[in-house]
Structure 1
Amino acid sequence: MILKTAEKAKTLHIIDFGILYGFQWPILIKFLSKRDGGPPKLRITGIEYPQAGFRPAERIEETGRRLANYCQRFNVSFEYKAIPSRHWETIQIEDLNIKSDEVVAVNCLIRFKNLHDETIEVNSPKDAVLKLIRKINPSIFVQSIVNGTYNAPFFSTRFKESLFHYSALYDMYDTLICRENEWRLMIEREFLGREIMNVVACEGLERVERPETYKQWQVRNLRTGFRQLPLDKEIMDNFRGKLRAWYHKDFVFDEDNNWMLQGSDMPVMPYLLNLQLCDEYSS
């Protein structure tokens, strides 16, 4: 969707909330380099939590250097700005250095689940970040989320829902990967284990895992003033073809109300769904 939006752009500016290591961008850079008439200039503003220690921006800046090397390899003009921030809702539009002659795309890959909501703060950071994106007025906003129901303020409800969610994930892993696999053990220890600990053991500001369902995000997005784009039929058909050819039979791919849904069709449907919402609106 971003590639299509930028097909006539001289400059493409991507604002990425939660850029982390930037692994989501090399494939786009490669396609931009093959564009008829030559690639546009690519600007990326990477927003990420600062790392602990004396160099809070080091990891985000390293992401920029890695992407710059990749752009140089494919002859794509590149500019990068790192914004280390613990509170994304405090970022101002002036910090983003948006120019009038560029196509702007906003992206967030499953990181809005770490923003606090109105159960913690009266002025919800989730809504505040959406309002910032609305103010940016991008040509496209691509939002991918973890579809989760384990954000209840009450422990018993949260424990039950998180049990459903993570047990379904482990069922999926058991189907695809043996339990002794080193990569699986690393993911379970470094990612899933920490998430489960945070969901179950932490309360208040200390609980940073706060996913919502895509229907809850739908309400937030519409309330903020976004208008959904229909999913591209050609892209969806391409995904379905690759799913049938390459993926496990229990992997499911669907759409609902212009959300792209991905998950695993186990006895308990895992709530690990990668959803994409594209919003485009005029001033």
Structure 2
Amino acid sequence: MASAALELLRTSIAVAQRINPITPHHHVVWCVLSAKNKDGLPELSAEDRLSFFHAVRDTQEKITTETGITDFNINWEEGCGKPVPGGLDSWTRYVHVVPRMVGDLEGDAVHELLDRWTWSGGMIVQPEAEPWPCDAKRKDRTPEIMAAEAAQFRQMLSSAGIPKNMAACADGFKFSHIPIASGLTFFVSEFGSTVAFVNLRPFRRGHVLLSPRRCVARLRDLTRVEYEDLIDSAGRLGDALRLVEFPRGFEFSVQDGPLASQSIPHVHIHMIPRI
């Protein structure tokens, strides 16, 4: 574990430290709470979870202030049972904040490196993890195939107890300049500012996108309410889909800026099932 001298941020909820960085200034934000649920696993209240993710955004801001770096990969996993300080968790309770600079990593190498990252140093090989496909192998899908998948997700969420009035964005929305039809969406938050929709070119089955309705390019541009609604929606969707279809949980990934491979200038979270 990194020493306290390497801490960038500490709150009552979280600590941000440089722990086995894969790029310069890479920090891991990890939760210091140890509350247990009925199964003996660490658990956060909804309020604490949002406070934790505010620490993630504060870590980005501190790195930008100290280094001038503005582009980041933000990655975390939920439901994957990876080791964390204090034992195994039902979600990993740590988030990678990976600053990106020109020429540091190629393509999606950041995801493969994070798949193999460990607390103790060195890299591990996870033979059960499906490799990330190269971009050239990802193909556009037809609207009909995407609409059928969205309908499947709406059914999954209904089975998991998500109310029907949250099952789709009735009027669709614009993902940057791209119109997303209502039939391609499968979730809209209670607050109404977050939408989930199927992916034109998924990495693997079940890879979907979650986005604020308002078009902003960066996480820092979201209001506090929008940011909290986005994070809360990601957790709610992950929990629901893990119950009915994807028991190993999800990797969540934000490409925050063009150097982090963001191709559409509209904040979005990739939800990628662990296979």
TM-score, length of structure 1 as denominator length: 0.27
**Structure with greater strand percent:** 2
TM-score, length of structure 2 as denominator length: 0.28
Larger-gyration structure (1/2): 1
**Structure with greater helix percent:** 1
